[in-house]
Amino acid sequence: MASLMKLLQKQPHSFSLLSSTMRSYSNEPLYDLVIVGGGMVGQALAVCVGQTPAMSNARVLLLESSTEAPPTTSPNQHYSNRVCALSLGSVHFFKSYGVWPLITSIRAKPFKKIHVWDACSPSSIGFSVDDLSDSLYSISSEQYTGQSHEEGLSHDALGYIVENDVILQALSNKVNEESNIEIKRGVTLKSIDHTQMKDSINNPWLSLPLSDGTCISMKLLVGADGVKSRVRKLGGFQDPVNWNYDQSAVVATLDIEEGMSENTVAWQRFLPDGPIALLPLTDDKCSLVWSTVPSHAEQLMKMSPEDFVASVNTALFAEFPQDQLVSSANEVLRNAISIVSPGSVSVRQLPPTIKDIEGESRGMFPLGFSHSPHYVKQRIALIGDAAHRVHPLAGLGVNIGLGDVIYLHEELLKTSTAGGDWGNITSLLSYERESQRLNMPIMAAIDGLQRLFSTSLTPFVALRSLGLQLTAAAQPIKDIIVNYAQRKY
């Protein structure tokens, strides 16, 4: 032992270095991952991390600013007015983490067709599983529908309409099952200590004071706290590129006339003031998402239920004045296409007629587009609406957010299996590159589509009408759109 003591004394110069720096953060709890925001994407990330064996010793904290308990929806309860159109990719994601059975045990409605048509021209597009190219279809039938019976997956579904509350409830049940995930409700972050960014040696971790007076340290902070992200603001991220569409969305749950066929089509019509969409909930109920100018939205909110139903029916069925030029241009194109590929011009189908509106289900919110130029910084990553927000036009918002979760989890997994540090900027930048590469085109497409359709100027109407015609006829373009809807990430 004496010789050992001698050995210990041989490196005395390191003592001071250690004692001065160790003190500063040794008392704070150190988390591997802190997720701010208990919404869909935040909880989805927590579930992924909690279920990955390589991450089972990670200490995870989920911070939720609201003190409300997670929603509890029972299968026979009223439908909520906020719904998502989950793509098959998102469904697959939920399936692989055991969340999907929890969702279907409450309720989820498959849609088998998307029907899009224009109010100012005779053109329309329809998408169904038949539009999938063979290779894609074989993947989808194998991977998505292999266990269709027991997990309630319909073999010809393009996606599922699910209420936000149902997804949240399923996710929070899963999060509660994970022993390494801690949840704090009613707590927000007060500030972010930027000294770590400058001196990563003496301050290796990010430390945050919380509103409850405690202070925590972490290797990685994830902002899943929505459009007005506090993490983005406090983290010193460059302001996102954003604009408002000067549009608001009116949402509601509607009762429809029971038609002859089952209610499995997602309907979307482009009106001069914005798109109106009907998403199937049950055989006799639909969810409405109507984007329009704010003044009109306010009117819609105030009017009597009877007038509201009448307005919706008018928006879905009324013939809008069609420009002569547009009609004739379409006619020429239609003829041209039918010569080149007979049978490819779609026949328009009719949406269901609205009977009534469910109780107090009307709601309204402003619409905007925003995209943060950066999703990551040293030890900080943004996911979901904190990083980007799209027009609800195609119901893609949550699917893009879940894409972020998948790419970030993939990078964290690479880091974990190489014994690395989750906050390292190289792997966070890989997440940023990958998710921006896939998000930007679809976000630009949604934004462009929205702009193109929110005008009744003749050249634009002609352009989009021809565009829709061409899309209906041109298989490859249709494939791109359907591919996105079906992407398995």
Partner 1 sequence: MATYDVTASPIKINDVTKIMGKISLFRKINILSFLRRLNSTVDSTETEKFSLSLKEWWDDRKGPAAALHSMNTVRVPLIKEALIGTRDEAGELGPHPLKGFSILDVGCGGGILCESLGELGSDVLGIDPNPVAINVATTHLMLTKNSSDIKDRVKYQSCSLEDLIKADSEPIDTDSSSEDFDCVVASEVLEHVADVDMFVHQLSQMAKPGGSVVFSTINRTIPSLFLAKMAAEYIFNILPRGTHDWNKFVTPEELDEIVKRHSMSTVSVIGLGYNPLTNVWNYQSDTNMNYFLHAIKQ
> Which residues are at the interface with partner 1 (CB under 8 A)?
1, 3-5, 7-8, 10-12, 14-15, 17-19, 21-22, 30, 52-58, 200-201, 204, 378, 413-421, 424-427, 429-430, 433
Give min distance, CB of 200 to partner 1, in A. Answer: 7
Residue 353 amino acid letter? T
In Å, how far are 119, 248, 276, 340, 435 from 320, measured between CA atoms? 6, 22, 14, 30, 40
Distance of CA 411 to the CA centre of its chain: 19
Closer residue to partner 1 (CB): 149 or 198: 198
Pick the closer one to partner 1 by CB: 221 or 309.
221
SS3 344: coil
* Beta carbon of residue 401, minimum distance to partner 1 (angstroms, whole number): 23
Instruction: Between 14 and 324, name the residue whose CB sits nearer to partner 1.
Output: 14
Residue placing its CB nearer to partner 1 in the complex, 7 or 347 = 7
Structure tokens at 183: 């949840």
- As a whole number of angstroms, the distance between CA 414 and CA 433 comes to 15
Measured CA to CA, the distance from residue 453 to residue 115 in angstroms comes to 15
Residues 36/228, Cβ–Cβ less than 8 Å? no
Cα Dmax for the chain = 102
Q: Smallest gap, in angstroms, from Cβ of residue 14 to partner 1? A: 6
CB of residue 237 vs partner 1: minimum separation in angstroms? 17
Distance, in Å, from the CA atom of 63 to the CA atom of 185, rounded to the nearest integer, reads 6
CB 72 within 8 A of CB 472: no
- Report CA torsion sign: 479, 485, 488, 489: positive
Residue (17 or 444) nearer to partner 1, CB: 17
Residue type for 214, please? T
Question: How far is CA 63 from its chain centroid?
Answer: 20
Using only C-alpha atoms, the chain has a radius of gyration, in whole angstroms, of 26
Residue 21 or 73 having the CB closest to partner 1:
21
Nearer to partner 1, 43 or 416 (CB): 416
* Least distance to partner 1, CB of residue 409, Å: 10
Distance from C-alpha of 445 to C-alpha of 450, rounded to nearest angstrom: 8
Residue 407, amino acid = Y
Nearer residue to partner 1 within complex by CB, 14 or 67: 14
**Nearest distance in Å: CB 236, partner 1:** 16
CB of residue 205 vs partner 1: minimum separation in angstroms?
8
246 φψ region: left (φ > 0), alpha (ψ -120 to 50), beta (else): left
- In the complex with partner 1, the residue whose CB is nearer, 337 or 405, is 405
Query: In angstroms, what is the minimal distance from the CB of 11 to partner 1?
Result: 5
Quote the CA–CA distance of 77 and 57 in Å, as a whole number: 39
Give me the least distance between CB of 2 and partner 1, in Å please: 11
| Nearest-angstrom CA–CA distance, 294 and 247 | 5
